[in-house]
Amino acid sequence: MVVDSNEIETVTVIGGGQMGRGIGAVSALSGYETYINDIDESQLNEAKERIEWSYEKSVEKKQATETEIEDALDRLSFTTELEEAIEGTDFVMEAAVEQQSVKEDIFEDLDEIAPADAILATNTSGLNITRLAEVTDRPSQVVGTHWFNPPMLMELVEVIMTEYTPDEVADTAEDLIESFDKTAIRCRIDIPSFIVNRLMRPYGEGPAWMVYRGEHTFEEIDSAMKFKEGFPMGPFELADFTGGIQIRVEGEQDHLEDDRPMSYDTEVCPLLHQLYDKGRYGRKADAGYYEYDEQDEPQVA
């Protein structure tokens, strides 16, 4: 038995970082009892603060009432105890760090503890979801739900199927996403980086090589994309906003070892490694391709 969309009452988010806190904020505001779990207590404290800030903004913009926000905050629980977060859950969205081995360990634990009918989803940016399904005894209940940053504001969520995912499970994931007032698009094949990130890859990695080879500067490329092509952010600004340097470097080995068709077969541009080694992960670290003042950092959950 697999949970049906109209039976979902409780949602659990694993990882309370940039994405997890936003997904949790959306879920609680949409009426679900929501647990956010992280191994790091300080991340949970920060998640709580940022969600409160984000909710206040929603009230200011008249997107939610004070009462709706109070109710949403009542529905939110933050815990470092995995068991507490998943023992009564209906739907898990994993948003921990972008490393295949970490995610596989998490999925083994989820499978052991979560109710048998619960669906286990991952927010991976492009790692191997089929392998996550295979570490569980419920591969048909594993699916990708890939959000965009920041979850409170971005409308699109990709729902990714593996060879084990039946339509009913993808349908349930899509119904849940739509109950969050988001738009789901389905990626019918578990292919590295799915649809959007796959399309965007030439705009992210190509420009890094151009700078590395000394052909252009960050500013020239970002300006060209914004002013000539009409993109809201240039590739380096976007990567600093999303934490793309960290995601790409930490996922590099997993991508190189990935045996799915169309896997990434190229190494990450050394420029990203140089920045990563200096802790320049993007806005959240106050430096990435560019440098930022702490107050520049967007608060949104």
Catalytic residues: 125, 146, 158, 197
Nearest-approach distance from CB 67 to ligand NAI, in angstroms: 29
CB-nearer residue toward ligand NAI: 75 or 146: 146
Binding site for ligand NAI (CB under 6 A): 14-20, 37-40, 43, 95-98, 102, 106, 123-125, 146-149, 242-243, 247
Q: What angle do CA 291, 295, 298 make, to 5 degrees?
A: 85
Nearest-approach distance from CB 107 to ligand NAI, in angstroms: 10
The answer to whether the CB of 14 falls within 8 A of the CB of 37 is yes
Among 287, 248, 279, 245, residue whose Cα is nearest residue 264: 248
Nearest-approach distance from CB 94 to ligand NAI, in angstroms: 8
How far CA 41 is from CA of 16, 22, 45, 179, in Å, comes to 9, 17, 6, 29
Q: Is 230 left (phi over 0), alpha (psi -120 to 50) or beta?
A: left
Nearest-approach distance from CB 46 to ligand NAI, in angstroms: 8
Name every residue whose Cβ is closer than 8 Å to that of residue 47 and which is 6 or more positions away in sequence: 16, 17, 20, 21, 24, 36, 38, 78, 301
Among 68, 83, 128, residue whose Cα is nearest residue 258: 128
79-110 b/e (C-beta count within 10 Å ≥ 16 → b):
beebeebbeebbbbbbbbebbbebbbebbebb
CB-nearer residue toward ligand NAI: 198 or 216: 198
CB-nearer residue toward ligand NAI: 50 or 75: 50
Transcribe 256-284 into DSSP letters.
Answer: HH--STT---SPPPHHHHHHHHTT--BGG
Nearest-approach distance from CB 154 to ligand NAI, in angstroms: 9
Distance in angstroms (rounded) separating the CA atoms of residues 179 and 27 = 9
Among 294, 298, 183, residue whose Cα is nearest residue 237: 298
Tell me the two tokens of residue 153.
Answer: 């504001």
The answer to whether the CB of 118 falls within 8 A of the CB of 141 is yes
Closest residue to ligand NAI, based on beta-carbon distance: 17
CB-nearer residue toward ligand NAI: 122 or 141: 122
Indicate the DSSP class of residue 226: I
CB-nearer residue toward ligand NAI: 94 or 222: 94
CB-nearer residue toward ligand NAI: 2 or 287: 287
Helix (H) / strand (E) containing 155: none
Nearest-approach distance from CB 41 to ligand NAI, in angstroms: 10
